[in-house]
């Protein structure tokens, strides 16, 4: 997918929960995929990587090959070894890579946190990875329980990580805007004294429970 900076910027205006709902409640990675530090957020096209267990050779290859603004999305098959640390971080920042979504473990945590570079991962491990086994790049991978294809857009924040297929981005954006407008009106009505039971038409459901 050719990069569309305007479209990506617009997607970045929304939190991941809104994007997930706008995408038809599809694309959410498992809740264990967490930001390394509070406040981390990233949106960008996926540069996909798959590493053999305990080896990060393909991460070195990916950092060298990825374009500025790409987000590395990595399938690791393993959480016991820290496949990403300060050296790869420094290389990624130098090349303008936007962030890392890693279904695995990182190490050198203090340096990673100080950098502010957006990292979402499953675990932390001090154990070093090898650099001898080949994997793949720019092919579909499974990360955080979701299929991710090269060029899909990934969005991540403190609520989670969502995968958005490239072809559906304009529709997702339109639905996200509409949802944001509806929620703004809902919040205004709540502040005005109306109950969520009334606004969301939930009272009949409670009446039905009482009758049973």
Q: Are strands 153-157 and 160-164 parallel, antiparallel or unpaired?
A: antiparallel
> Is 179 a known ligand-binding residue?
no
Please list, residue by residue across 146-185, b when 16 or more beta carbons sit within 10 angstroms of its beta carbon and e when fewer do. bebbbbbbbbbbebbbbbbbbebbeebbebbeebeeeeee
> Is 85 a known ligand-binding residue?
yes
> Is 191 a known ligand-binding residue?
no
What CA–CA distance (Å, rounded) separates 63 from 93? 9
Tell me the two tokens of residue 131.
């650099």
> Is 200 a known ligand-binding residue?
no
What CA–CA distance (Å, rounded) separates 89 from 98? 11
> Is 71 a known ligand-binding residue?
no
User: Do residues 33 and 144 lie in contact, with contact meaning Cβ atoms separated by under 8 Å?
Assistant: yes
Annotated binding-site residues read 85-88, 107-108
Annotated binding-site residues for Mg(2+) read 108
Annotated binding-site residues for substrate read 85-88, 107
């Amino acid at each position: 997918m050719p990069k569309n900076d305007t479209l990506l910027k617009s997607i970045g205006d929304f939190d991941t929960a809104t994007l997930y709902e706008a995408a038809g409640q599809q694309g959410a990675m498992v809740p264990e995929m967490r930001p390394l530090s509070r406040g981390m957020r990233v949106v960008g096209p996926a540069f996909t990587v798959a590493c053999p267990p305990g080896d990060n050779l393909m991460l070195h290859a990916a950092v060298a090959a990825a374009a500025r603004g790409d987000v590395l999305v990595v399938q690791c098959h393993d959480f016991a070894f820290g496949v990403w640390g300060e050296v790869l971080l420094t290389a990624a920042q130098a090349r303008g890579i936007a962030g890392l979504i890693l279904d695995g473990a990182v190490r050198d945590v203090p340096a990673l946190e100080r950098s502010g570079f957006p990292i979402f991962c499953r675990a932390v491990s001090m154990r070093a990875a090898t650099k001898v086994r080949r994997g793949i790049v720019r092919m579909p991978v499974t990360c955080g329980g979701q299929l991710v294809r090269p060029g899909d857009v990934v969005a991540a924040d403190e609520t989670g990580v969502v995968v958005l297929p490239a072809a559906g981005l304009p529709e997702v954006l339109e639905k996200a805007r509409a949802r944001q407008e509806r929620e703004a009106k809902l919040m205004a009505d709540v502040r005005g004294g109306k109950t969520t039971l009334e606004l969301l038409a939930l009272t009949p459901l409670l009446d039905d429970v009482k009758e049973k």
